[in-house]
A and B are shown apart, each in its own frame.
Chain A
Amino acid sequence: MANKVAESISREEFFYGHKACAGCGGSLAVRAALKVLGPNAVSVLPAGCMSAVGFNFPQLCFSNNSIISTFAGTASMLTGVEAGLRARGYKDFTAVGFAGDGGTADIGIQALSGAIDRNDNIIYICYDNEAYMNTGIQKSGLTPFGAKTTTTPAGKNIHGNIRPKKNMFEIAAAHDIPYAATASVGYIYDFIQKVQKASQIQGTKYIHVIAPCPTGWGVAPDETVEIAKEVVDCGLWYLAEYENGGFKLNHKPKEFTSVESYLKKQGRFRHLTDEDIQVITASRDKKWEFISKNFVI
């Protein structure tokens, strides 16, 4: 698989010289997606990690046209950019958004829903590092159950975050969007293929890519890719697509690796009790029951 990736992807770089932390999964997703979309991609990034590390005047790190939007305005600015360029006669370009989990599932969900409703011709990529990392690891709507953040401390009474992640993939699909997909930077070829596919489809495309944050997750910077693979292998995340009104699973682990092992190697989950881990495992099994019933496998 590695060789196939090396052959297919451009050697040109569009996002470099930035200040992202070592091992940043989000910057890996942005870098790979822009290599697929090429020089005529116009990227819109809200206030968040990628804009904070990439747009510090005069150190500007995108070699394609790129703009920061308001925190809530990724999708609405994408709409404006796409409509404006089209009105000016441009055809050969891709308007692509890169927003984090907070920017997508919390403050930006209204504008995203509006864009999908209009079926604007844009690609919206959510790089999900499972908390507000730019402000220092606060809980978002995509922080998983049990995770310790700076606003969901792990103590005697409460063991971190008490709510599961919102399912943004299925929320996007519920709009009957032309294309939605889940991905992980641990399965980068799958992600690249999905960005490629999205670029060929007319209308709104939503890709939700798990992008570990070593700083916030409490893993070593060189473990990003491994942990992003493991979250898929243990079944807590899955690689899937929504297209033509139906769900499809892209990758079915023969047998799940240990949930406990995935959790316990991360600082944010180290406090979890056996009971907590049982709750997480049970919710994984319930999700896979749903997938086996409702997804083409």
Chain B
Amino acid sequence: MKKFLSGNEAFAEGIRLARPQVISAYPITPQTIVVERLSEMVEDGSLNAEYVHVESEHSALSCAIGASAAGARAFTATSSQGLLYMAECLYYAAGGRFPIVMMNADRSTALPWNIYGDQRDSLSQLDSGWIQAYAENAQEALDLALMSYRIAENKEVSTPFMANLDGFVLTHTYETVDIPDREQADRFLPPYETDNRIDFENPKNMAFSAGPDTNYIFKYKEHEGILAAKKAIIDTEKEFAEIFGRKYTGLTENYRTDDAEYIIVTLGSIAGLCRETADKLRENDIKAGVVRIRYMRPFPNEEISDVLRNARAYAVLEKDISFGNEGTVFTNVNSALKKTGLNVKGYNYIGGLGGRNISAADIEKIYTDIAKGTESVNFIGIGGEDNGK
């Protein structure tokens, strides 16, 4: 069934099809519409879930952890300050191996206050142990919602899943979205089964302490679990394509990269404009390509080094800055190349902070700048003629 939906609404439709048993809800712009739609679905009976009105984001995730420990499929959603407020629980959920799914509407972090989209919130939590996916459009958002539980609940993975949607640009933009059938969705996603839960036949002590003798073993297993998501993502997407006909490309999505000399590596909704710009430049014989990172964790080390291997230069375009260093995506991409001994010139472009527009002209300038060589870290809009004005 086709419907005209915003990114948030599409994601909520995907969650309805995933049949979560417990939803903990707390509002924050620009995520709020997700929990509003879910409350309507519970009210009209199209979603049979316990809907809990928690009093904070910390409690939203704490409640979801409790529900997951009870063996229930749990969902929550947040953004920005809310994600930071629940940060303690992010690490807790991952360490406890609770495959909760959470949508995060990527938004700027205070100060200064700003409700618009950048990716500094979720990228600051890369080390929390969650799988992190970044959607580009509303259809991918819906499909991710459905696939996320299959990946997170995979026995080898058992790791929570954060699906990131660019605030406003994706969460509030309407597109035509294909909503899968209920029967197909149920065939794709069976009910959650786990041993990692409260069990009255065989009582458990959960979320315990582990001292220096054993702690590292649990942490190593946690690392193995999120690495196992690489295969689970590929397998899940394959089965998804068989049932629903839509194909996804794993941890990254490449565009005209086979013969590309200049490649922009980016993530989220800006990728579309990058592809259009690459097409335009190719008309002028500039061999431009785009790599869209779909998953920041597990990180696509091999995919990135393979695709950038033959390029003359690459730019990482990201809505993030790790103050005092560079964009975090840039650091991760550079590390992927370093590990394989590749020496391709790379540049970092920081843009879109606090929702500032990144234009086609900005992107075109990235391609032409990296062909000539430029500063290592560049802030779009700062320096040059307008110098941030």
User: Shortest distance in angstroms between B213's beta carbon and chain A's nearest beta carbon?
Assistant: 9
CB distance from A287 to the nearest CB of B (A): 30
Q: Which residues of B contact A88 (CB under 8 A)?
A: 21, 70-72
Q: How far is the CA of A42 from the CA of B371 in the complex (A)?
A: 63
Q: Closest B-chain residue to A14, C-beta based?
A: B203
Question: Binary interface profile of A, 49-86, with partner B (CB < 8 Å = 1, else 0)?
Answer: 00110111110111111111110110111111111111
Verify if A117 is at the interface (C-beta below 8 Å from B).
yes
Q: Which of B55, B89, B214 has the most CB of A within 10 A?
A: B55
Specify which of A57, A111, A113 lies most central, judged by the most chain B CB atoms within 10 Å of its CB.
Answer: A57
Q: In whole Å, how far is A87's beta carbon from the nearest beta carbon of chain B?
A: 4
Q: A65 to B55, alpha carbons, bound, how many Å?
A: 26
Contact of A55 with B63 at beta-carbon distance under 8 Å, contacts A63-B203, A65-B199, A88-B72 already known: no
> If the complex has contacts A56-B208, A110-B55, are A80 and B70 also in contact, measured as CB distance less than 8 A?
yes
Extra pairs beyond A55-B205, A80-B65 (8, CB < 8 Å): A57-B214, A68-B208, A79-B63, A81-B67, A84-B72, A87-B50, A88-B72, A93-B200
A150 CB, nearest partner CB in chain B, Å: 23
Distance (Å) between the CB of B287 and the closest chain A CB? 51
Residues of chain A lying within 8 A (CB to CB) of residue B60:
76
A125 is an interface residue with CB less than 8 A from chain B: no
Q: Give the residues in chain A near B24, CB-CB below 8 Å.
A: 76, 80
Residues in A with CB closer than 8 Å to B53 are 118
With A88-B71, A93-B200 as given contacts, are A66 and B59 in contact (CB-CB < 8 Å)? no
Which residue of chain A has the shortest Cβ distance to B71 in the bound complex? A88
**Contact, CB under 8 Å: B66 / A65:** no
| Contact of B54 with A70 in the complex, beta carbons under 8 Å | no
Across-interface contacts of B63 in A (CB, < 8 A): 76-77, 79-80, 83
Is A39 in contact with chain B by the CB < 8 A criterion?
yes
B66's partner among A61, A66, A69, A114 (CB-CB below 8 A) is: A69
Q: Does B209 contact A (CB under 8 A)?
A: yes
In the assembled complex, the Cα of A82 lies from the Cα of B208 at a distance in Å of 20
Interface residues of A in 111-128 (CB under 8 A from B): 111, 113-114, 117-118
CB < 8 Å neighbour of A111 from B58, B68, B206, B209: B58
CB of A65 within 8 A of CB of B207, answer no
The CA-CA distance from A54 to B21 in the complex, in Å, is 30
CB pair B58–A86 under 8 Å, yes or no, is no
Q: How many chain B residues touch A (Cβ–Cβ < 8 Å)?
A: 41
Task: Tell me whether A202 is interfacial, beta carbon within 8 Å.
Answer: no
Q: Which residues of A contact B206 (CB under 8 A)?
A: 65-68
Contact yes or no, A57 B210, CB < 8 A: yes
- Asked if B40 is at the interface of the complex by the 8 Å CB criterion, the answer is no
CB distance from B257 to the nearest CB of A (A): 44
- 19 A-B residue pairs with Cβ-Cβ distance under 8 Å, sorted by A, are A52-B209, A56-B211, A65-B200, A66-B205, A67-B206, A68-B206, A69-B62, A70-B89, A70-B92, A73-B59, A76-B63, A76-B66, A79-B66, A80-B22, A80-B66, A80-B69, A83-B72, A84-B71, A114-B59
A44 at the interface (CB under 8 A from B): yes
Task: Give the residue name and chain of the B residue nearest to A113 (CB).
Answer: B55
In this complex, which of B50, B55, B66, B211 has the most chain A Cβ atoms within 10 angstroms of its Cβ? B66
A40 within 8 A of B: yes
Determine if B56 is an interface residue (Cβ-Cβ < 8 Å). Answer: yes
A76 pairs with B59, CB closer than 8 A: yes
Q: Which residues of B contact A85 (CB under 8 A)?
A: 70-72, 198
Task: Provide the bound-state CA to CA distance between A80 and B24, in Å.
Answer: 8
Given A111-B58, A113-B55, are A80 and B64 also a contact pair (CB < 8 Å)?
A: yes
Contacts of A81 in B (CB 8 A): 66-67, 69-70, 198
- Tell me if B187 counts as interface (CB < 8 A to partner A): no
Interchain CB contact under 8 A, A69 and B74: no
Which residues of chain B are within 8 angstroms of A52 by Cβ–Cβ distance?
Answer: 209
Q: A70-B58, A84-B69, A85-B198 are in contact. Are A61 and B207 (CB under 8 A)?
A: no
What's the least CB distance linking A91 to chain B, in Å?
Answer: 12
For residue A76, which residues in chain B have a CB less than 8 angstroms away from its CB?
A: 24, 54, 58-60, 62-63, 66
List residues of chain B with CB within 8 A of the CB of A87. Answer: 21-22, 49-50, 67, 70, 72
Contacts of B55 in A (CB 8 A): 110-111, 113-114, 117
Given A83-B50, A118-B52, answer yes or no on A111-B70 (Cβ-Cβ < 8 Å).
no
What string of 1s and 0s marks CB contacts (under 8 Å) between B25-58 and chain A? 0000000000000000000000001101111101
Complex contacts, B64 vs chain A, CB 8 Å: 80
